[in-house]
Structure 1
């Protein structure tokens, strides 16, 4: 059985997509405590998925520009950026405030999608520096974050907030690990 030549890249990007989607998942758990209709849940997931495509795209454009200008130093910078994002994600999981500060309708939905996908911009920045396959990245980041958002919203209806803390910790740890991998080689 032939193995795709970029299987390692698919696996790495899948783990990164899961790590980034964990932020949306954990926030969606808290938001799932708000009574939401299934149509609203579906829309929220699609919008979050789209933002997890747009943000890394913007980051990749900037990252590729920086890579052409600065060369090898940008790889180390991208790794450091991933580690800092992971640490921030891990630290935010230790905060006790799990309730969403906004209602996911109209501007609130855009604000929600932006807030859970901002880290995707920074990750896109480092991925643009490393030169990964763009379409594969977008498909994985968008679909995984959309599915994790749906899962978080639906689970939030059934479960209290303790899972959100642990999922953000795992996501932060994964980002730190990939940042170290990028720095070490």
Structure 2
């Protein structure tokens, strides 16, 4: 898997963190750069940690499922991406509750416990992608550096965007992220089948 693909996966995975970061920026009267850095660090750090944990779990089972690993990668990416797209199309209230909770806590201080829980919640998809990385024998160090860095930058941008524009772009970002993951899953499957 090349750096461009890892970058695209990083962007796709970062969309949940981006949406919550927008919410964090909503109630900031002015941008607090320290808070922005901490939010981005939490989301970027967990987006790097979770694929590593998934990769560690995946390498334990790699030799058992080598023959159909590309199907697993395809299914995981399509399911994760599809779930993101469906959430946007249905306009689920869960995202709004997370947004409301994040926005309420963003105004004057950061609740580190809440930020920790939000970082875990927005990086669960990355855990499954980490399992996929093990099956595809992806070099995990550059993968987690790219994913974590991309999420850090996108989350920081989300805080600023939330402060300036509000939640206008939240659902569009989620939709784009889901589509990217679905397309990458299809590409992996087609490559392993020798079609592309």
**TM-based fold match above 0.5:** yes
Structure 1, gaps ≥5 residues long: 1-7
Q: 2:130 maps to which residue?
A: 124
Structure-1 residue corresponding to 2:101: 101
Q: What pairs with 1:4-83 in structure 2 (closer than 5 Å)? A: 9-35=2-28, 37-83=32-78
1:79–1:180 Cα contact (<8 Å) kept: yes
Alpha-carbon deviation of 1:31? 2.1
Question: Is the CA contact 2:56–2:131 (under 8 Å) kept in the aligned structure 1?
Answer: yes
Partner of 1:101, secondary structure, is helix
Q: Distance in 2 between matches of 1:129 and 1:101?
A: 37
TM-score of the superposed pair, with normalisation by structure 1: 0.90
Distance 1:38 1:49 in 2: 16
Mapped to 2, the partners of 1:131 and 1:155 lie a distance apart of 36
Residues matched between the structures, number: 178
Whether the 8 Å contact between 1:66 and 1:74 is mirrored in structure 2 is no
Does the aligned pair in 1 maintain the 2:36–2:156 contact within 8 Å?
yes
Question: RMSD of aligned C-alpha atoms?
Answer: 1.6
> Which region of structure 1 is more displaced relative to structure 2, 89-98 or 49-58?
89-98
Q: Which one has a larger percent helix, Structure 1 or Structure 2? A: 2
Deviation of 1:139 after TM superposition, in Å, equals: 1.0
Q: Hey, which bits of structure 1, 4+ residues long, moved more than 3 A?
A: none
Range with greater deviation from structure 2 (15-24 or 62-71): 62-71
Q: Deviations over 1:151-178 (max 9, x none)?
A: 0011100102121111110100000011
CA distance in 2, matches of 1:72, 1:17: 26
Any gaps of 5 or more consecutive residues in structure 2?
192-196
- Report the Cα offset of residue 134 of structure 1: 1.2
1:92 to 78, 87, 93: 87
Distance 1:96 1:142 in 2: 27
